Structure 1
Amino acid sequence: MTHLFQRLARRSALFAAAGLLAGAAGAASAAYPERAITLVVTYPPGGTVDVVARLIGPKLAAELGQPVVIENRGGAGGMIGGAVVAKAQPDGYTLMLDASNHAQNPALHSKMQFDTLTAFAPVSLLLRVPNVLVVTPSYEVKTVADLIKLGQPGAKDHVYFASAGPGSAQHLAGELFNLLAKTQLQHVAYKGGGPAMIDVMSGQVPVMFASMGSAWQHVKNGKLRAVAVGGLERSKTAPDLPTIAESGVPGYETYEWNAVFAPAGTPPAIVEQVSQALAKVLKDPAIAGQLAGIGAEPIGSTPAELDTFRRAEIAKWQRVVKEANLSLD
């Protein structure tokens, strides 16, 4: 009996210690955050992703009660910043603001420094911005049907479209158009969206499947003409502009989007806390108004919703890349 009581006593002590550890872990989680949080932006300063980060950063800091430090780690279509975050401590103090290439890179690159699906914990889909088909104002294309007619295989003259570079969101938006509309538009890659758009405005290349966020100001001042939007529904920013899908290319849907991720292994309670804080930020009328000005649709999803969304996006672009026989390796 004495040995039995000793074993029970030791077991009770172990349970008590486990309880203390669990309580300490709960207290640590409840105290989060206790210091500044680094938000790694996977694109250089000045672009749309950076603008979004600096727009939401101060509001997120106010919600969480600690500073949010923006750190730009641009390059390689978001993969340089992604590698940094994939290796970071999963404690909630390093987060990543990534974009559409998050789902496109796995299709384009057979060798990456990380596995996109296992390296990151989804936090929140912040927003999405439809691509918009724009042309040089003097170009003869006024409708999607015009572009399909000019871009037919075997046409006398090639139709060229510009993008920010090989494998960029604009490039893949054009390749998706080729597949669904059965056209042969020819891709012209630039070193960045800015130079590409400048050449479309000047007529060097007549067509671009641009982000509405960067193109719309040029549409409004007459330097570009918008033909159709890439979302399945018409944009609230331009309700009179038809979608590409309703203009003769059923199933066409392209967005550029921004989302926040954490390193895999970040405690679910912390992920949920940050997700809820971001949802509150995106409901702020001032933030929503500024995002609407660039054609962005604020979302503020749950972690589970972002996971479902990114898996669908990855599968979609894997199909497009395979059918278009693209590779950047």
Structure 2
Amino acid sequence: MRRRVLLAGLLAAPAARAQAKPVRVVNAYGAGGTADVVCRLLFGRLSERTGQTYVVENRPGAAGSIAASLVARAPPDGSTLLYDATAHSVNPALFGPKLPYDTRRDFLPVYLSLVTPNTILGSHHFAPATVRDLIAAARAAPGTIDAGTTGIGSAQHITLALFNEMAGVQINHVVYRDSPAARNDLVTGRIQLQFSNTPGTVPHLRAGTARVIAHSGREPVPVLPGVEAIAATLPGFETYEWNGVFLPAGTPETINRSLNAALNEAAADPPVAETLAALGAIARPNTPEEFAAFLEEQFALHARVVRDAKIRVD
């Protein structure tokens, strides 16, 4: 009997080890940014809850397409995930057939992990403090106001381009290699504006290093008390930075559903939910279908803005 039990245990061990094989989470963005913080927060909690190890691998570059390319070619068995953000819904319009994958065909939306409004930050060396005043200043002196973002086709660039269109103004786009570089020039007054996201704006608000002129959401943002929505002056204005989880196309539906349910539970865990709220995230329970519908809205908006603003990657 003992020999049979021992033999059964030895035979079961390889299967247990196979089940415990770490899942690779390919993050399309670098360490320390919002996407990295939220990704590690969620999958760290998921590991604790399930006992399954999730290894986050940062593969930034080429507007997220390096990471996406890796996952598009991965086995569709749930062993490799993509953690991507807004560029995922901008890239089809920005790069077109140059993308080494088909954004809709090659990925399954699993879970929308974060949605957060973009913001307009103003230098203390720059007078306008409201959206109305900013529009008036931009109309009075076309092409003289500079706004920094961290990339062509970024969520913040899309917000700036949409602002120019809806306000009928010409605010210049200045591209920076990273947010700290843009922040330094904003604080010193080298640029008048920076288009940012809510997590990157909260430190400015707390430290008083820049004026938070407005946000791009529909609803008040609790971590930005008193900050107006752009839509209050430009009705219908709405843009977001988002994060989400994807699987390679062809992955069984059962894996997608199971992962979605687990991520919803991890995000609802009080410490995780509190951290997301402190970042200014709009984090709500969602299904793969709801995430897919949100993506279609983003694809349509970004395609139109890229086309109308003639945004190009050199």
TM-score normalised by length of structure 2:
0.91
CA distance in 2, matches of 1:78, 1:215: 23
Partner residue, 2:282: 297
Pick from 306, 309, 312: which aligns with 1:324? 309
- Larger mean Cα displacement after TM superposition, 299-308 or 268-277: 299-308
Partner residue, 2:298: 313
Matching of residues 50-69 of structure 1 within 5 Å:
50-69=36-55
Partner residue, 2:230: 244
CA distance in 2, matches of 1:63, 1:117: 31
The alpha-carbon deviation at position 303 of structure 1 amounts to 0.5
What amino acid sits opposite 1:297 in the alignment? I
Partner residue, 2:111: 124
What amino acid sits opposite 2:75 in the alignment? Q
What amino acid sits opposite 1:323 in the alignment? D
What amino acid sits opposite 2:31 in the alignment? P
| Superimposed CA distance per residue, residues 63-89 of structure 1 (whole angstroms, 9 cap, x where no aligned partner) | 332101010010011111010111100
Q: Does the 8 Å CA contact 1:275/1:300 hold for their aligned counterparts?
A: no
Partner residue, 2:137: 150
- Larger mean Cα displacement after TM superposition, 192-201 or 213-222: 192-201
Pick from 42, 46, 71: which aligns with 2:57? 71
| Superimposed CA distance per residue, residues 175-202 of structure 1 (whole angstroms, 9 cap, x where no aligned partner) | 0100111111011111122211221122
CA distance in 2, matches of 1:300, 1:199: 38
Q: For the structure 1 residues 160 and 180, does the alpha-carbon distance in structure 2 shift closer, same or farther, using more than 3 Å as the test?
A: same
- Larger mean Cα displacement after TM superposition, 103-112 or 274-283: 103-112
Unaligned runs of at least 5 residues, structure 2: 1-16
What amino acid sits opposite 1:228 in the alignment? A
CA distance in 2, matches of 1:291, 1:37: 23
What secondary structure is seen at the aligned counterpart in 2 of 1:316?
Answer: helix
Partner residue, 2:242: 257
Q: Does the 8 Å CA contact 1:122/1:307 hold for their aligned counterparts?
A: yes
Q: Does the 8 Å CA contact 1:32/1:270 hold for their aligned counterparts?
A: no
1:267 matches 2:252: yes
Q: Does the 8 Å CA contact 1:137/1:222 hold for their aligned counterparts?
A: no
1:136 matches 2:123: yes
| Superimposed CA distance per residue, residues 81-119 of structure 1 (whole angstroms, 9 cap, x where no aligned partner) | 010111100100101111111101111112100111111
Q: Does the 8 Å CA contact 1:33/1:65 hold for their aligned counterparts?
A: no
Identity percentage of aligned residues = 38
CA distance in 2, matches of 1:35, 1:63: 16
The alpha-carbon deviation at position 208 of structure 1 amounts to 1.5
| Superimposed CA distance per residue, residues 282-304 of structure 1 (whole angstroms, 9 cap, x where no aligned partner) | 11111111111121121242100
Partner residue, 1:210: 196
What secondary structure is seen at the aligned counterpart in 2 of 1:141?
Answer: coil
Q: For the structure 1 residues 316 and 37, does the alpha-carbon distance in structure 2 shift closer, same or farther, using more than 3 Å as the test?
A: same
CA distance in 1, matches of 2:310, 2:142: 24
| Superimposed CA distance per residue, residues 32-91 of structure 1 (whole angstroms, 9 cap, x where no aligned partner) | 954211111000111111111111122111333210101001001111101011110010
- Considering only aligned residues, what root-mean-square deviation do their CA atoms show, in Å? 1.6
The alpha-carbon deviation at position 173 of structure 1 amounts to 1.0
What secondary structure is seen at the aligned counterpart in 1 of 2:32?
Answer: coil
Aligned length: 297
What secondary structure is seen at the aligned counterpart in 2 of 1:151?
Answer: helix
Q: Does the 8 Å CA contact 2:85/2:244 hold for their aligned counterparts?
A: yes
Q: For the structure 1 residues 33 and 175, does the alpha-carbon distance in structure 2 shift closer, same or farther, using more than 3 Å as the test?
A: farther
The alpha-carbon deviation at position 137 of structure 1 amounts to 2.1
Q: For the structure 1 residues 157 and 40, does the alpha-carbon distance in structure 2 shift closer, same or farther, using more than 3 Å as the test?
A: closer
Q: Does the 8 Å CA contact 2:202/2:224 hold for their aligned counterparts?
A: no
What amino acid sits opposite 1:96 in the alignment? L
CA distance in 1, matches of 2:45, 2:303: 35
Larger radius of gyration: 1
Q: Does the 8 Å CA contact 1:40/1:70 hold for their aligned counterparts?
A: yes
What amino acid sits opposite 1:159 in the alignment? I
CA distance in 1, matches of 2:64, 2:46: 22
Q: Does the 8 Å CA contact 2:143/2:171 hold for their aligned counterparts?
A: no
1:107 matches 2:93: yes
The alpha-carbon deviation at position 120 of structure 1 amounts to 0.4
Partner residue, 1:5: none
Unaligned runs of at least 5 residues, structure 1: 1-30
1:85 matches 2:71: yes
The alpha-carbon deviation at position 157 of structure 1 amounts to 6.0
TM-score normalised by length of structure 1:
0.87
What secondary structure is seen at the aligned counterpart in 1 of 2:110?
Answer: strand
